[in-house]
Amino acid sequence: MILQSQLKITLENGVSLSNDDIELLKALKECGSIIKTAKNMKISYKTAWDALNKINKNSELFTSKKNQGCTLNKKALELINKCEQIKKAQNFLVQKMLEKNINLEYISRIPLKLSAKNQLKVKILEINESIVNTDIIATLSTNEILKAKITKSSQKELGLKVGDEVIFIFKAPSLMIKKQDFSKLILPNLIKAKITSAIIGSQNCQITALTSDKQNLTAIIPNDVTMDLRLAVNDEIGVIIDPKDIIIGI
């Protein structure tokens, strides 16, 4: 079975572009004239002219001057680039659907919304396998190190490899916060952050903080712990994440 997907782009002014329209713009970019574009696409000049005129009438994606050919503007070039990226993503998804024999009735649930508040972008540095589990060592853009412990089967299923950019996902209640002298501690999965807000409830407090590389963290801790630590907005804190509480997303 062969699966194919079609891309349709609607611009801000309501003009819709199909796959064929995008291919026509790409050909115009390469050829520089409508005559050469028609020849390259193996269509008549009138067909090419009518299609491009319709695209450009309200969009102003290219300029055409007598004896000087056609020139695509920055907006058109960005549009072509974005379409290429989307098509690659489509093809990747379709291929994965075929490989994994995904039940198509569940596709409508993509993208999933997660209840986990914390989703950190990291880059994998090391993959250390044992018989059952695998330690995934990753880094933030500030070179702070985080470790996730997942099953070896999950690691193989995800196809993780060194250099991959992934998402470390974990729930707010799983975080621990250190304040006094935390910078002197040598603990796994301790990263620096700065408190941006603190919302106190009847029993728990929601602490929101910003990591050194400007990613948001949310922790839910008991009110008495908040008071004991004397946490306040703009405080520098250390946030500890248990490697076993991290889920990896790709």
Which contacts qualify for 137-141: CB closer than 8 Å, 24 or more apart? 138/166, 138/168, 140/191, 140/211, 140/212, 140/213, 140/215, 141/213
Q: What's the start-to-end Cα distance of the chain, in Å? A: 26
Per-residue model confidence as pLDDT tens digits over 47-101: 888 888 887 776 778 877 766 678 888 888 888 888 888 877 777 777 766 666 6
Per-residue model confidence as pLDDT tens digits over 110-126: 555 666 789 999 999 99
CATH number at residue 94: 1.10.10.10
Q: Are residues 92 and 17 both part of a single domain? A: yes
Residue 206 lies in a domain: yes
Q: Are residues 163 and 186 both part of a single domain? A: no
Q: Are residues 63 and 134 both part of a single domain? A: no
Q: Are residues 15 and 100 both part of a single domain? A: yes
Per-residue model confidence as pLDDT tens digits over 182-221: 666 667 788 899 999 999 999 999 999 999 999 999 999 9
CATH number at residue 126: 2.40.50.100
193/43 Cα distance (integer angstroms) = 59
The total of structural domains in the chain comes to: 3
Residue 84 lies in a domain: yes
CA angle 222, 150, 113 (to 5 degrees): 60
Residue 250 lies in a domain: no
Q: Are residues 24 and 96 both part of a single domain? A: yes
Which among 55, 77, 106 is the end of a domain?
A: 106
Residue ranges with strand state E in 78-200: 118-129, 133-139, 145-151, 165-170, 175-178, 190-200
Which among 81, 106, 131 is the end of a domain?
A: 106
Residue 4 lies in a domain: no
What are the C-alpha distances in Å from 247 to residues 52, 147, 150, 178, 191?
48, 11, 8, 23, 17
Q: Are residues 174 and 160 both part of a single domain? A: no
Q: Are residues 183 and 146 both part of a single domain? A: no
**Structural domain that includes position 158:** 118-169
Residue 113 lies in a domain: no
Q: 200-219 burial string, b = 16+ CB within 10 Å, else e?
A: eeeebbbbbbebebebebbb
Q: Are residues 152 and 193 both part of a single domain? A: no
Residue 112 lies in a domain: no
Per-residue model confidence as pLDDT tens digits over 21-58: 888 888 888 888 888 888 888 899 888 888 888 877 76
